Chains A and B, each alone.
Chain A
Amino acid sequence: MLSSAQLRKLAEISRRYDRSVGHFTTRQNMQLNWPKFEETPEILGELASVEMHAVQTSGNCIRNITTDQFAGIAPDELTDPRPYCEVLRQWSTFHPEFAFLPRKFKIAVNAAREDRAVIRAHDVGLEIVNNDAGEIGVRVFVGGGLGRTPVIGKVIREFLPRKHLLSYLDAVLRVYNRYGRRDNMYKARIKILVNALGVEEFTRQVEAEWSHLKDGATTLTDAEFERVARHFTAPEYEHLPQDDFSYAAHLKEDKAFASWAKRCAHAHKVPGYAAVTLSLKAPGFAPGDISDLQMEVIADLADRFSFGELRVTHEQNVVLSDIRKRDLHEIWKISRANGLATPNIGLLTDMICCPGGDLCALANARSVPIAEAIQSKFDDLDYLYDIGDISLNISGCMNSCGHHHVANIGVLGVDKNGEEWYQITVGGQQGNATAIGKVIGPSFYADEVPLVIAALITVYTEQRTPSERFIDTLQRIGIEPFKQRAYAGRDKRKPARADASENLTEVVNA
């Protein structure tokens, strides 16, 4: 969540200290790619002036806590997850015991029926649930993660009462801090420990540790939870009817607006309101990049229409969370004039993409040009709508910042003898049915990638039933037809081998 003032400050910082552009990451943070090292103290000072910081954004510590971009407004949520996140933020900030863990540690929280925070791909995922007695607590997933060894988190506790949240996490982290591997940084994430011990033994160790910590001073009090929760009050909503006449009229009259609304306006739990996703996936622009001027436009939109607040999504878009339906048309016009209304949310071109080899010292390959090539191959909106819901994510190296493992179609940059190659996976999913995609075979040259994507899509459009999404068809007919089409006509070329001979150099970011 950001306030309009914070976003304006980021715009100013990007202008003064960078190249007038920022990049939203899957951690829902902003990354600046070209600040001068010696100017970072000034930048941190500027950030502090609007209550922002860069604490625990790197290092082997507990990173920022993330959650659903629709927190507090989603019709399908059990409760607002934000107070949980804030309680966890305070607990994790300069935690004295866990500042030098074996590796970085990411925690995500979901309180909705549909998980939009990818909690199963986090070191710890917390799902807020009620037990049979109607008490509130969390289901604890541990050991999920992407990177070199993608693993889906496992449940180590079905129900943990809310008051035990912090002491239980202290126990999880203590077991990890003491026994996580430190001899090999590629095997140091908690998922490796959980897999090595087995989830039963890991759980036993956590419970044994927790038996000493349970009911201690760290036990969360209702008073504290409520104090924190009072910071996340609902804004002063108007009492509105569910349907708005002018909105309905605009939808009928204006096809382009209707297309946008279909993809970019989302259900809201308050009648007469909607949430809006402003797409940062316009053709020709790096996914997640936002210019200083766009930041200012969004800040103005937030002030005018959405109580001065906005959210960043892990899919690298921006959400205005509290929009009266009657304002949607105006917002669309302004955002369209500023390159923020590409009506592609949830479609093929709404790609998650890391900065890649153009900017990142760790990357094996560039990712942004691949994203652009796919965008220009799929520039026909009608065709994109016809393809429908699909996720396509791109990572420039196996650190997997682009979340390619959990995309329906994943693209991974690999380095082979100094050349950029791309490995394609299919069948990955985020959300409740989180799944890791499977590699379809040997990797491809950069210029082949859009053609391979097109081939995969063609198999889907040929084989689908009227109600099926890409992932449904894939699950029904299996990977084989997709594989065959992807490699059809390619056997004459000397194939690249996706085996151990590939130089899968991994560099681990600090």
Chain B
Amino acid sequence: MPKIIKNGQIIDDDWQILKLDGEQTAASLAWPDGNIMVPMTAWLERKAEILSRSKRPGVWLDSHEDVEAIAGDLEHFVVIGLNFPKFTDGRAYSTARLLRERYAYRGEIRAIGDVLQDQLFYMKRCGIDAFALREGKDIEAALSGLRVFSETYQAAVDQPQPLFRRRTA
């Protein structure tokens, strides 16, 4: 079974990420059994159908997709995947913070796509708590990417007070 990092641990993962590859459209997508993460467009078009399945859904957003579109639906999702098409595409860092800080989403936020050890610290700080590493990467070694620095300057999801407020406290 594939493995991911979640809350700092390596765990088995059975979520299937449904993609709109090639001919596939949101309308033509079929639902396999088990846990599925659907593309945001599919969710927006086929909400009722997805909710009628026996398992609660996950959804995933590509880096250019605005989280505002699903802001009213968050209670339905067990997991929200944020895709990093390339590690240099940093839009999902903002998306993750918006989910946690503006929309108070408490479920799992999972980084998917070009997810690498060097980015995990930033991702964690922005509220991403699960990491599906890029295929072929050493997941054990990647764990240390969550602990690069012992202290941070800025307020973020993992530490809502900036260092300067904690210093004076």
Contact = CB atoms under 8 A, between A and B. Distances in A.
A218 B162 contact: yes
A218 B152 CA distance: 13
B168 A99 contact: no
A37 B91 CA distance: 31
Closest 4 A/B residue pairs (Cβ):
A100-B90, A96-B125, A224-B164, A217-B155
25 contacts: A90-B164, A93-B153, A94-B121, A94-B149, A94-B154, A96-B93, A96-B122, A96-B154, A97-B90, A97-B93, A97-B97, A98-B90, A99-B90, A99-B122, A100-B88, A100-B122, A101-B90, A177-B90, A178-B66, A178-B94, A212-B102, A218-B154, A221-B168, A224-B164, A227-B167
A227 B165 CA distance: 12
A94 B160 contact: no
B89 interface: yes
B26 interface: no
Interface of B: 66, 87-91, 93-95, 97, 102, 119, 121-123, 125-126, 149, 152-156, 160-165, 167-168
B94 A94 contact: no
Contacts of B119: 99-100
Interface residues of A, number: 25
Given A93-B153, A212-B102, A221-B168, A100 B160 contact: no
Nearest to B92: A100
A174 B91 CA distance: 9
Given A97-B126, A217-B162, A91 B153 contact: yes
A182 interface: yes
B38 to A, nearest CB: 22
Instruction: Give the most central of B97, B161, B162: most A CB within 10 Å.
Output: B162
A94 B91 CA distance: 16
B155 A177 contact: no
Nearest to B168: A223
B89 A94 contact: no
Nearest to B157: A96
B94 A216 contact: no
B101 to A, nearest CB: 8
A221 B165 contact: yes
A174 B98 CA distance: 10
A27 B102 CA distance: 36
B163 A216 contact: no
Contacts of B154: 91, 94-96, 218
Contact of A218 (B94, B121, B155): B155
Nearest to A177: B94
Interface in A207-230: 212, 216-218, 220-221, 223-224, 227
Given A91-B153, A97-B93, A177-B93, 18 more contacts: A90-B153, A90-B164, A91-B154, A94-B121, A94-B122, A94-B154, A96-B121, A96-B122, A96-B126, A100-B90, A174-B94, A177-B90, A177-B94, A218-B162, A221-B165, A224-B164, A224-B168, A227-B167
Given A99-B122, A100-B90, A174-B94, A221 B164 contact: yes
Given A90-B163, A217-B160, A217-B165, A99 B93 contact: yes
A60 interface: yes
A177 B87 CA distance: 14
Nearest to A101: B90
Nearest to B64: A182
Given A99-B122, A224-B164, A182 B156 contact: no
A216 B163 CA distance: 14
Interface in A173-221: 174, 177-178, 182, 212, 216-218, 220-221
B152 A94 contact: yes
A174 B97 CA distance: 10
A178 B102 CA distance: 15
Nearest to B85: A182
Contacts of B161: 217
Nearest to B89: A182
Nearest to B160: A217
Contacts of A182: 89, 91
A227 B167 CA distance: 10
Contacts of B126: 96-97
A217 B159 CA distance: 10
A99 B89 CA distance: 10
A77 to B, nearest CB: 24
A97 B157 CA distance: 10
A217 to B, nearest CB: 4
A93 B93 CA distance: 16
A218 B121 CA distance: 20
Contacts of B163: 90
A212 B101 CA distance: 10
A221 B155 CA distance: 14
A221 B123 CA distance: 27
Contacts of B121: 94, 96
B100 to A, nearest CB: 12
Interface in A230-275: none
A502 B156 CA distance: 47
Contacts of B164: 90, 220-221, 224, 227
A427 B80 CA distance: 54
B113 to A, nearest CB: 13
Contacts of B149: 94
A227 B160 CA distance: 21
Given A91-B153, A91-B154, A97 B94 contact: yes
A360 B91 CA distance: 31
A80 B107 CA distance: 46
Contacts of B123: 96
Nearest to B66: A178
